[in-house]
């Protein structure tokens, strides 16, 4: 994972002010240092939130759309205790009769009143499709999970989310 710099505000302030303006002769902190530290204190929490966001986005950016890697990332972000998010793939083969030079729209039946046994498809329809099934526990925030998967997935690949 990408290593970002960690800012230590107290050390940064001492380096900026120098030890002459930071410490008294008895080793205690000066009032000027305390004033500057009070001015910097409201910036600590927003920057900590930014660091968390930045680390999450770096993790998402480094993830490939592979079952094992995506499973690990989703479990790390949304279910780090139980690790119950699973991903599986399924290939769907569509029966097709497309030997004719026109878009087939007919149905094969045994008789006039029987239900269709086989339906032909158009020439631009996909014969084989691969779908990804993501199984999540009910306590996972589904909208946040969809946002993460949308950032990672490749264009054109489909997925379905099932709450178990």
| Model confidence pLDDT, tens digit, residues 126-138 | 666 677 889 999 9
- The predicted model scores a pTM of 0.64
What would the two tokens of residue 30 be?
Answer: 């000066």
Average pLDDT (15-41) is: 91
Closest CA to 163 of 133, 123, 130: 133
- Cβ distance 125 to 98 under 8 Å? no
- Cβ distance 55 to 73 under 8 Å? no
Q: Check pLDDT > 80 for residue 107.
A: no
pLDDT for residue 104: 45
Round the average pLDDT of the chain to a whole number and report it.
81
pLDDT for residue 125: 61
Q: Is residue 34 helix, strand or coil?
A: helix
């Amino acid at each position: 994972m990408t290593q970002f710099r960690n800012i230590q505000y107290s050390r940064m302030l001492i380096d900026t002010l120098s030890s002459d303006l930071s410490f008294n002769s008895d080793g205690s902190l000066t009032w000027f240092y305390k004033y500057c530290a009070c001015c910097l204190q409201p910036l600590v929490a927003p920057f900590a939130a930014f660091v968390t966001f930045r680390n999450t986005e770096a993790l998402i950016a480094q993830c490939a759309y592979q079952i094992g890697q995506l499973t690990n990332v989703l479990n790390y972000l949304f279910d780090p205790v139980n690790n119950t998010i699973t991903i599986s793939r399924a290939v769907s083969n569509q029966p097709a009769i497309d030997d004719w030079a026109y878009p087939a729209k007919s149905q094969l039946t045994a008789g006039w009143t029987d239900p269709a046994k086989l339906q032909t498809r158009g020439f631009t329809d996909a014969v084989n499709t691969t779908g990804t099934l993501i199984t999540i526990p009910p306590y996972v925030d589904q909208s946040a999970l969809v946002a993460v998967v949308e950032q990672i997935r490749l264009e054109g690949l489909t997925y379905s989310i099932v709450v178990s």
